[in-house]
Amino acid sequence: MSGTTIEKKATVVYGVVGKHPVRAENTERLLTSKSFDATTLEAALESIAKEIVPESEDQYKSQARPEGKEAYRKNLVQNFFYKFFLYMKNASGDIPANLVSGAGDIVRDVSTSHVSYPIHEDRPATTKLTAPYQASGEAKFTDDIPATGRTLYAAFVLSDRVVCNIKSVDTSKALAAPGVVDWVSADDIPGSADCGAAPGEEVLFAKDKVTYHGQPIGVVVAASQREANEASKLVTVEYAGEEFTKPILSIEDAIAADSFSGDPHVIKCGDVEAAWAECDEIITDTAYAGGQKHFYMERQSAYCIPKEGDGIDVFIGNQAPDYTRTKIASILGVSGNDVCVKTRRAGGAFGGKLSRHVYCAGACAVASKKLNRPIKLAMSIWDDCRVVGGRTEFKVDFKVGFKKDGTIVAVKYDGYGNSGMSTDFWGALVIEFNEELDGVYHVPNVLSTVKQCRTHIPSRTAVRSFGHIQAITITETVIECVAAKLGISPQDVREKNMYTTRNRINPCGQHLGNDFNIRAMYNKLKVDAEFDKRSGEIDTYNTQNKWKKRGISLMGIKYGCCQSYSIGTQALININGGDGTVVVYSGGVEIGQGLNTKVAQTVALTLGCDISMIRVGDSNTDVIPNTMFVGGSTASEANAEAARLACVKLNKTMHYVRTLLTKEGKPTTWKALCAKAKGLNMLLSATANFVPTGKRTSEKALPWSPFHADYFASGVACSEVEVDVLTGETTVRRVDILYDSAKSLNAIIDVGQAEGGFVTGIGYFLREEILTGSDGKLHSDSTWEYKPPCVADSPIDFRISLLPDSSFARGVLGSKAVGEPPVVLSYSVASAVKTAINASRKERAKPQKWALPAPFTVDIIQTAADISPEEMTLC
């Protein structure tokens, strides 16, 4: 090059457009001896679009988007060249200032964070008790349990067809493979094959027919996991009849085939039809909320060890030990007391180990029962993703009427949820989804109808922020569409319709509680995050930069917390009189949320001993029976309260002993109390269970709440993003969160939960796309095509505050749940991204576009920006 002219030869090479890098030789010849001017740019863009045509990539062609990402990949060919052209022009200083941002990538600074929380001296904010073990890799999970000498290993064989009959299963090659011991299938189940949460809808192993791609057919058992995995590939299954049945995969397929299950869930308040006449404007549109994989660090894994008689120990990371025990007993055809489920911890769960782990545990148990030997089954990431369905997708057609000032008068929702091939937890999910559709907004007239779609994909199930994150996606899309119609900011519509202390009654007729004051929290964060100032700065930035746009969004959430998920959970406290140490067993499971730490802190606080004296034992159904689920964000508080109630009983004993020692003039230290009680042969063990007020099985008992939600958590988030509209890349620049955990049981853990939950939501809205092919096959079954959030996806500037001076009289020790609500706050990132996209569209005189399908992956963002080659100029 000489100055801004290519004197010799240009070389233009593109990667990832085919199996090998491709040179654009015609474009190279065109560029030789040319200047970097507008004429050259126009000719080069036209030439390169003809010359470089990306090869089709079938893994991106899903039933939801059969066209795949072809348009995006074609756009990138020209857009990358344009960015290069701008880079060269900028290097010579010959480029308008508003185009400079298009010349480079988004620059990410080193992340920083700021945390603020109230100090409560009676409950120190500490890291999890097991954090050092987890950070150092010393923490033990199910597959880390040392294998006994006779242990064998199992691997699944899954169907690779959908909706057809099984003609034959040939295991001869697998059984002849090195190390293989046996084949275990439906014929080997000694009890009931029923393994689903809804009776009669799912079988452990498919026998005569398969319903979905990835359905378990059996397991190969071998001397090592590697041998089992390799041999499972040698099993061949012959199918019949698949050509006669068209699979129902999507919500649209289900609607067309009238494939619905059960009665619709309906919420109604006011008179929607009459209210339309009061509206100045009425719009209709459709909003979508996508699915999401759990993507826990620990794959589904189980270790089953047979005992005397019909007994069996089942070691498995799960969220429902007693449910697991019941299911395994049924599958094996034994009594409930023959099965003991043990869990030290689960390496993440997020809802995927509430019911979907039964396939893994059940298959392992059947193999162990058949061979009378210990069996380990650790599912691969591919099998885990195929078998365990993930988050439920929703499509909602909406009609909304409103005044010219943005006040929403009426809204009608016609919703559809894809539950997959079984019901699983749909009954609870649809309630949480439908009851959350009001968000934090008071609308006097609402009619919401939601139907369950039955399809031929793996059953959808609970995922962190169960139903809520999908609902808020719909609600906020409605808010944004109203704002677009009126030509005002979504913030104006949010503020116009937000609940106040005078109207905080939701469409179900439930009062949200005197502690629910979302507007005050919103106003506080608006000031603390300098929203108005930053909004002005962003407007200025967007005016000065054509190809990188910034967006900011401030929003609040309410989250109905249902304590019935943990109702009846129990705790057992054993005090060792000799040294005063305490062992606690609870009905919960440590899945990373800090449950055991909060339980231990509560016990230490109530008994008055040091937390170093306390150990929380492994979850064990022989020790704690009749446990409920660990989910819905209420398990930590429920188990902490059960433990507290047990401690209250023990304190009566200690009070008596303390009185005796005081009379004797002896020290009343904790160890002295325990030793004296032991010497008096007093009972130093106590149990208790947690039942919310009025929730016992009594017709006379008045429930704490007749509604699904027992109380409401709340929070506010302000997010700022930067979007490269030429590529669709997004960086989250700053996030401010204000969350009300009331009088937190452990502020550090709660902050960590808020941070992790929020980033989980960023993954949902920006990264994690479910790709199911037209044949029912899941293409996004590993990190090659499925992209969970990584370090660079977290906010550059992350600020989290727990609301000061807050307490909740009805909560456990004045606290509120925190595990799942912050996930929903991540919609503020999605809204900020859409704000940035529409800033670009507005600048180029294109209509606003807010009803985008989530997740907003790079291709969705770039194609939504809708940039034509004619717009890629040098002026």
> DSSP characters for 468-510?
HHHHHHHHHHHHHHHHHHHTS-HHHHHHHHB--TTT-B-TTS-
Q: What is the dihedral of CA 853, 858, 859, 861, to 10 degrees?
A: 60
Residue 704: its pLDDT value, please? 52
Q: What are 326-366's pLDDT values in tens digits?
A: 999 999 999 999 999 999 999 999 999 999 999 999 999 99
> Cα 89 to the chain's mean position, in Å?
44
Query: Residue 91 pLDDT more than 90?
Result: no
| CB distance 415 to 393 below 8 Å | no
Query: Residue 256 pLDDT more than 90?
Result: yes
Amino acid found at 423:
T
Q: What are 205-232's pLDDT values in tens digits?
A: 999 999 999 999 999 999 999 999 999 9
Q: What does the angle CA 350 – CA 140 – CA 601 come to, to the nearest 5 degrees?
A: 70
What is the three-class DSSP state of 215?
Answer: coil
Q: What is the dihedral of CA 639, 641, 642, 645, to 10 degrees?
A: 160
Residue 715: its pLDDT value, please? 98
| CB distance 354 to 422 below 8 Å | no
Query: Residue 4 pLDDT more than 80?
Result: no
**CA–CA distance, 258 with 268 (Å, rounded to integer):** 24
Amino acid found at 602:
T
Burial class (CB in 10 A: 0-12, 13-18, 19+), 148: exposed
Residues in the chain: 875
Residue 697: its pLDDT value, please? 44
**CA–CA distance, 215 with 457 (Å, rounded to integer):** 9
Neighbours of 105 (CB within 10 A): 11
Q: What are 786-797's pLDDT values in tens digits?
A: 999 999 999 999
Mean pLDDT for the chain?
94
Residue 698: its pLDDT value, please? 42
What is the three-class DSSP state of 94?
Answer: coil
Residue 33: its pLDDT value, please? 87
What is the three-class DSSP state of 364?
Answer: helix
Residue 106: its pLDDT value, please? 82
| CB distance 335 to 369 below 8 Å | no
Query: Residue 700 pLDDT more than 90?
Result: no
Query: Residue 2 pLDDT more than 90?
Result: no
Residue 8: its pLDDT value, please? 76
Query: Residue 269 pLDDT more than 60?
Result: yes
707: left (phi over 0), alpha (psi -120 to 50) or beta: beta
Query: What average pLDDT does this structure show over 438-466?
Result: 97
Residue 693: its pLDDT value, please? 64
Query: What average pLDDT does this structure show over 63-72?
Result: 88
| CB distance 713 to 820 below 8 Å | no
Query: What average pLDDT does this structure show over 369-386?
Result: 97
What phi and psi values does residue 519 have, to the nearest 5 degrees? -65, -40
Residue 701: its pLDDT value, please? 41
Q: Number of C-alpha atoms within 13 angstroms, CB side, residue 229?
A: 11
Q: What are 756-785's pLDDT values in tens digits?
A: 999 999 999 999 999 999 999 999 999 999
Residue 692: its pLDDT value, please? 75
Q: Where are the alpha helices (DSSP H) in 243-372?
A: 251-257, 272-275, 321-332, 358-371
Strands (E), 7-151: 13-14, 22-23, 112-116
Beta bridge partners, 420, equal: 454
Residue 520: its pLDDT value, please? 96
**Token digits for 534?**
């930053």
User: With bands split at pLDDT 50, 70 and 90, how would you rate the model's confidence at 243?
Assistant: low
Q: What are 40-62's pLDDT values in tens digits?
A: 999 999 999 999 999 988 888 88
- Percent of the chain predicted with pLDDT > 70: 98
**CA–CA distance, 466 with 429 (Å, rounded to integer):** 6
**CA–CA distance, 364 with 153 (Å, rounded to integer):** 9
Residue 705: its pLDDT value, please? 61
Pairing of the two strands 797-802 and 112-116: parallel
